[in-house]
Chains A and B, each alone.
Chain A
């Protein structure tokens, strides 16, 4: 079930109505609201493949069990507790490893496992589960009830493509009756509508009209087309993924839950470190807290160890996206540049000139776009050929550079350089208008999107992760 579809529209209206009706219940009856949201989330997930609802339930049960065991075993740093934590983590990684990496690893040793189907969103809900047990171990969150933890891991707005919501951020919200102010509601609507435009118009059309045909046949296109398609993919993946999280945040907000910001104009970053503070913030902060600091020691150690920690974190972050050498290279590229930035920060001579901010933005954007070529290509050789095709300055007309395509790329980039909090600004103005007027205006916008988007809606890119 995809967000910008009629099926989801009807599904969400029913869930919204039930959520509002059950929100009036108090005491032990308040659980019915959570039960309804949980069942709705399973229906949403089961729409793709009902078999994997069982996996979600087992994964939630596993983490709940270890959360209880960890909470019942003081003192904080005993060996028994550490062993329990490792067991819980290995259980989560084992499930992720089997579904996501077993085929890849088997291929490396020339062995075939047959078809292992990848459950949608497994990387996301596994990370939710991991952060829960680690947080319980570290005392950052209380052990949750089975119902609450299962809902945390299954909640449909963030289930298949994030944002990764921390237990300490969402679990307390489950305990309170939902409240929804008019301005909050308006902000949710703006996010949903803006996400629909980014996904259904910009990302879809760039994919069909530029990126897919060029990446499918790089040898048949000029260097200009190859470069244009690389820029196009940078815009497509931003519009696709940020659209999903915008809609997820808006939908959760309408049900009375606040999710964290996941994107903050990433292509205006003036360094790669800055980029990772703006791109997929819930994943980058997860990797920072649990891997870079939690597992590898962070920056409070010798410089060379910090650099290794950075590189290791980014390579594993790349591998999280999928079982392919291209993702490893993508992660290593980001890790390598982050290491260079860190070394430059530490060892830079006082007299060395500083790069102007605009130049930093330009350089960072091109490093990120170079990384996206590895991210988009299915094989390493394909990515190398693609980059060689750009570097060859192969002649020929830029057949893909139409006003429509250029306009879509410009629109996708423009939202990076507009006011940083434009959504909130629009929402404040909308909240002053009557609801029926906003409803009619929103419907008109959706009708225009319906006409502009051509045939259907492609699945979100991040569903495969």
Chain B
């Protein structure tokens, strides 16, 4: 009869952790998610703009699109888009070899 997935059959089974260790995971992962979300919100205006551009164009979404564009421009002025821009340029250069 059922007893759950046997230990070791999941790729996330690393070690049998004790109860104390099993509680520390939540705080740790909160730290990861919070810091990565803040960093992505600051430095990934591209994703916000791309997402807004895919919204159906109507009166409700227009201010969202405008705000996303505004944030993209502001981030650009502050130099926050540099990392994604640099990666985009590198990828373009790598792909450009195809046409050469």
Contacts and interface: CB of A to CB of B under 8 A. Distances in A.
Contact of B95 (A5, A187, A404): A404
B98 A446 contact: no
A451 B90 contact: yes
Given A7-B51, A191-B11, A172 B2 contact: yes
B74 to A, nearest CB: 17
Interface residues of A, number: 71
B59 interface: no
A443 B36 contact: yes
A75 interface: no
A139 B1 contact: yes
Interface stretch (A81-89, A174-182, A346-354, A388-396): A174-182
Interface in B16-33: 17, 19, 21-33
B91 interface: yes
B83 A182 contact: no
B84 interface: yes
A9 B43 CA distance: 15
Contact of B84 (A6, A171, A400, A447): A447
Given A13-B37, A16-B33, A181 B24 contact: yes
A438 B9 CA distance: 26
A253 interface: yes
A205 B90 CA distance: 14
A181 B25 contact: yes
Contact of A180 (B2, B26, B85, B91): B26
Dominant SS at the A interface?
helix
User: What's the interface size class on B, roughly?
Assistant: 35 or more
Given A13-B37, A450-B84, A142 B2 contact: yes
Contacts of B90: 451-452
Interface in A252-303: 253-254, 258-261
Given A182-B21, A403-B97, A451-B84, A258 B29 contact: no
A253 B14 CA distance: 12
Contacts of A169: 2, 4-5
Interface string A84-109: 00000000000000000000000000
Nearest to A262: B11
Contacts, number: 192
A400 B98 CA distance: 7
Given A141-B2, A442-B36, A452-B87, A182 B25 contact: yes
A238 B39 CA distance: 31
Given A447-B87, A454-B91, A181 B30 contact: no
Contacts of A185: 25-26, 28-29, 32
Interface stretch (A57-65, A111-119, A428-436): A428-436
Given A191-B12, A404-B98, A450 B5 contact: no
Contacts of B94: 403-404, 407
B2 A167 contact: yes
Contacts of A181: 14-15, 17, 21-22, 24-25
Q: Which of B2, B4, B83, B98 neighbours the largest number of chain A CB atoms within 10 Å of its CB?
A: B2
Interface in A152-211: 167-173, 179-189, 191, 205, 209
Interface in B50-88: 50-51, 83-88
Contacts of A428: 14
Contacts of A168: 1-4
A261 B25 contact: no
Contact of A189 (B2, B32, B34, B35): B32
A250 interface: yes
Nearest to B97: A402
A442 B14 CA distance: 20
B97 A404 contact: yes
Given A184-B12, A187-B14, A253-B12, A443 B35 contact: yes
Contacts of B43: 443, 447
Given A258-B10, A261-B9, 18 more contacts: A9-B40, A142-B1, A180-B22, A180-B25, A180-B29, A183-B14, A183-B25, A184-B25, A185-B32, A259-B10, A261-B10, A261-B11, A435-B31, A442-B36, A448-B87, A449-B87, A450-B84, A451-B84
